[in-house]
Amino acid sequence: MISIAVLVLFAIIASGCVEPQQKQDIAPQNNTENQGKDLRSNASAVNECTSKGFTLETETLCLIGKASSLKDPSICEGISLPSSQSDCYTSVAKSTASVQICDKINITSWKSTCYIAVAKSKSDAGICGRLTTFQGDVDYSGSCYSEMAKITKDYRICNKISSDNKKPCLIELAKLTGDITPCKEIVVEPEKTDVSKDLCYKEAAIASNDEEICSQMSEDSYGQKNEFKAQCLMKIAYEKNDEKICEKIAINSYRASCIVSLKN
């Protein structure tokens, strides 16, 4: 009797040990089946685009849409036109937030567009650092950083851009936010004719409708009365319908024009 009980107990334990193994053996089969279904589904989707007698342009757009919706960059390989294939990879990279897909693109300018699209979708300025800083006269990483600065409204991202190329980025941030902090980051070399700092103050003042910001601009600019300051005050005077602001304009012609425009 004891031996029979032991045998029964052993059989129960053995069956418990075997069952998980059986489940483990089944799982890979299910994964393989799912992969097969995905491949058949994707092949069917491609066939929908290529077997309908579409024009090349329409067929290409159909394939790009399928690749994006199925998140399958392999569909892009069936597109012959390089620019359209690039658009396809970019669309899939954006939908999957995968910058690695961008690396399938060979043309630097198109690859840059792809990186920027993914950086935007992930709100990740770090992706811009993967781009070539310059190719010829084009600063690809700078363009990416500039786009990300505008999206996040973070002027500090502009400082990742090299040399003078950061100034347009900082000016754009001042325009978007009405904040003069980006303007303070602009360094103007005295020996060069550079109005970027005054332009930045002007954009911030107009965006915030604050004439006090105009007053922070220099009165003279390279030996002449500062027209940016006059334009700044004039614009805000119009917005506020305030003739008193016109009186602050140092250039006679601008001041007179401002006052006449606001006379009832």
Instruction: Compute the average pLDDT of residues 153-176.
Output: 91
Do 79 and 64 contact (CB within 8 A), yes or no?
yes
- Buried b / exposed e along 188-218 (16+ C-beta atoms within 10 A): eeeeeebbbbbbbbbbbbbebebbebbebbe
10 token code pair: 């052993």
Identify residue 67 by its one-letter amino acid code. A
User: Which pLDDT value is given to residue 46?
Assistant: 80
Q: Give the rounded percent of residues in the chain with a pLDDT score beyond 70.
A: 78
pLDDT at 45: 73
Residue closest to 45 by CA, chosen among 24, 59, 28, 33: 59
DSSP sequence for 127-152: GGGGS-S-BTTB-HHHHHHHHHHHHH
Question: Can you read off the two tokens belonging to residue 109?
Answer: 């300018």
Whole-prediction pTM value?
A: 0.71
Mean pLDDT of 151-155: 93
Paired with 221 in beta bridges are 224
pLDDT of residue 217: 86
Q: Name 17's Cβ contacts closer than 8 Å, sequence gap at least 6.
A: none
Least confident of 32-41, 69-78, 120-129, 153-162: 32-41
How many whole angstroms separate alpha carbon 18 and alpha carbon 27? Answer: 15
Q: Which residue has the tokens 């994707």?
A: 42
Q: What is the mean pLDDT of the chain?
A: 81
What's the rounded Cα separation, in Å, for the pair 74 and 36?
15
The set of residues, in sequence order, having a beta carbon less than 8 Å from that of 192 and lying 6+ positions away, is none
What does the alpha-carbon distance between residue 193 and residue 16 come to, in Å, rounded to a whole number? 84
